[in-house]
Amino acid sequence: MVFLGANNALRTVTDLKVVWSGDGYDDLARKGGFTVWRPDHFSSELHLVAAPVRRIGARHVIWTTVPHVTIPPVARGVGSKVAPGSRCFAYYTRPWISDRGFDPRRDPNITTDDARAVDSAIDQYNDAIVGEVRAARTAGLDWYVLDAAGVLDRLAQRRYIDDPDARPAWWQPYPLPEQLQALDPVPDSRFLTGDGRGGRATGGLFSLDGIHPTTAGYGILAQELIGVMRRAGVVFRFPDGSARPDPVGVDFDRLIRRDTLIDRPPQNVTSGLAILGWADEALDLFRRGAFLRH
């Protein structure tokens, strides 16, 4: 399983800066200066990865597409969409900055044009990944694509679920496992917050860093991978070695019991966001002070 590519664009939302790759994108000592790779640079590096993967000699290979990094709650869309039916917000900023308190002149942000450009680049990354898989299958290799980008798009609460007018023609809601659908509230892709009574108010699919899935979120990805593996003829077995019959499913009851962010979420997340906001402002002040001193 090859799940690469998100880091070629992720820093646009963690740093809230769009710095397109240039000379040195393929140099480990220089590539840290870029937050998003141009599609041709991504394709060039992808080809360098695909070549040794071919030489591994794996019976089956699954490549995943790159999720749109503007969906995870690490960067929150401010206010309402930029226009009716748009998938993008006017600005994206830190999740602890409120709509009322946001000031684009002061607070770190990327704009709707930035978000659209990054999304477009990721679409081209995914075209390149699909192209590599198509070429390998044409050459007789048993390669597959898991569309992780499509899974996340179908779980995008603020982008599509809350805004039917923004949904593209292909969009359908992702069918969450029944164990997750039975939870109240149903887990979603917003930032995780507590309700003050021991439960969740929002979120549940992303952990507190706003980037990585929760245990239950990883279970969704695992279930998708199992589906591709079964199509490839991979046999799953019980501990005694006997073959598991279809459908082969993830034990989501067990995952929910083990996922404290789902089962017992911290109740101070809202106040914690305020503390993070204070620390962020203090850090900015420190950086400005350090700059002035030098």
Average pLDDT, the chain: 91
- Three-class SS state of 223: helix
What whole-number percentage of the chain has pLDDT above 90?
81
Decide the pairing of beta strands 76-77 and 91-93. antiparallel
pLDDT given at position 277: 60
What is the full DSSP assignment across 19-44? -B--TTTT-TTTGGG-SB--HHHHHH
Distance, CA of 174 to CA of 163 (rounded, Å)? 15
- Three-class SS state of 104: coil
CA-based torsion, 11, 16, 20, 22: positive or negative: negative
- Three-class SS state of 283: helix
Closest CA to 112 of 84, 149, 78: 78
Distance, CA of 13 to CA of 258 (rounded, Å)? 29
* Average pLDDT of span 150-171: 97
pLDDT given at position 208: 85
Distance, CA of 11 to CA of 4 (rounded, Å)? 14
Residue 45: pLDDT band (50, 70, 90) is very high
User: What is the length of the chain?
Assistant: 294
CA dihedral (95, 99, 104, 110) in degrees, to 10, reads 40
Closest CA to 266 of 188, 196, 171: 196
Q: Is the pLDDT of residue 284 over 90?
A: no
R_g (Cα) of the chain, nearest Å: 21
Distance, CA of 79 to CA of 112 (rounded, Å)? 12
Residue 96: pLDDT band (50, 70, 90) is confident
Amino acid at 222: A
pLDDT given at position 290: 40
pLDDT given at position 292: 42
Question: The whole model's pTM is what?
Answer: 0.90
Distance, CA of 284 to CA of 199 (rounded, Å)? 33
* Average pLDDT of span 248-258: 95
pLDDT given at position 278: 55
Asked if residues 109 and 88 have their Cβ atoms less than 8 Å apart, the reply is no
Distance, CA of 137 to CA of 152 (rounded, Å)? 26
Whether a cis peptide bond, with omega within 30° of 0, leads into 108 is no
Distance, CA of 187 to CA of 282 (rounded, Å)? 33
* Average pLDDT of span 180-198: 91
- Crossing angle of helices 112-138 and 39-56, in 10° steps, is 30
What does the domain layout of the chain look like in residue ranges? Answer: 1-173, 175-288
Distance, CA of 109 to CA of 17 (rounded, Å)? 7
Q: Which residues are CB-neighbours of 202 under 8 A, at least 6 positions away?
A: 185, 188, 190, 191, 192, 193
Q: Which two three-digit tokens encode residue 146?
A: 């898991």
Amino acid at 226: I
User: Which spans in 57-144 are helix H?
Assistant: 112-138
